[in-house]
Amino acid sequence: MKAIVKILLLTVLGFVQMSGALAANEDKLSVTTLLQFCSNSIPNTELASIMDGECASHARKMCEYAFDLEKNEYCLVEVTNWMRRDADIRWQRIPDERKLGFEALPTAKEIFESKIGLGPILPLPDCKKIDVEDISEAAVCSYTDALAGWRAARIVERAWLSENENTE
């Protein structure tokens, strides 16, 4: 447990250091760079999936703070677009036989309905009923779907990489 706490603290400290450097660059925050740095810093542990979610959440919040909370939807869309691109790249690297029967990156609904262990235990909330101030329903739904697909790609990729490490 102490190792997990240490990993989380190191990730947060890395976030703080990286965000300072990014913010100093022409007074802009690069959501893409921040997400790439954070996601690449996560070790393959039991809590990796939770830390992935924290990367997305903190990058969105830092973007909102960088814009004085005036561009909340813009920040959510930036994170959504990055997750979609990153998930597609990761999914393409995974061999077809490891993709759990999915040809394309699965949607949130497909993950939940598949019952293969990638989806949540509880039913998915209807994104149309999630009310977030200053953010459209379309942006919220797109984000929840992108997060599910990115999470699935990360889980499948980690399992595949772990298996390859154990066979070498």
- pLDDT reported for residue 140: 93
Collapsed DSSP state (helix, strand, coil) of residue 87: helix
Residue percentage of the chain with pLDDT more than 70: 76
Looking up tokens 């909370």 gives: 69
Of 62, 45, 67, 60, residue with least CA distance to 144: 60
Model confidence band, residue 25 (pLDDT cutoffs 50, 70, 90):
very low
pLDDT tens for each residue of 94-148: 998 888 888 888 877 787 777 666 555 556 678 888 888 889 999 999 998 898 8
Model confidence band, residue 34 (pLDDT cutoffs 50, 70, 90):
very high
First to last CA, the chain: 28
Domain spans of the chain?
Answer: 2-167
pLDDT > 70? residue 13 = no
Mean pLDDT over 21-49 rounds to: 79
Residues 56 and 166: their CA atoms lie apart, in Å, by 29
Q: What is the pTM of this model?
A: 0.76
pLDDT > 80? residue 8 = no
Taking residue 118's Cβ as centre, other Cβ atoms within 10 Å add up to 21
